[in-house]
Amino acid sequence: MADYFNIDAILASQEDVPVHLKTSLSHCGYLSSGFAASNSDEMGADDLVVAEGDNVTVYLPIFLAAALENHVSIQ
């Protein structure tokens, strides 16, 4: 079974993350290499990178992708 990561915990450790990103991502709950969800409505293209997990492609803000880079393949 894939490891799961608590997005709220990751966000809490990022002091410089804009409040709107924390709000947008807080509903996601958990993220793993096999499952991911994010609300990109309020994120600009410059804030996003592509991450590919197991049969899923997701858009993550750069700070979150960096926090998870050891767990998903960052392009």
Q: Which domain holds residue 36?
A: 5-74
pLDDT digits (tens, 9 = 90+) for 3-17: 445 555 555 666 665
Q: What is the DSSP string of the chain?
A: ----EEHHHHHHT-TTS-HHHHHHHHTT-EE-SS------TT--GGGEEEEEETTEEEEEEHHHHHHTTTTSEE-
- Give pLDDT tens digits for 16-49: 655 555 444 444 433 333 334 444 444 444 444 4
Number of independent structural domains in the chain: 1
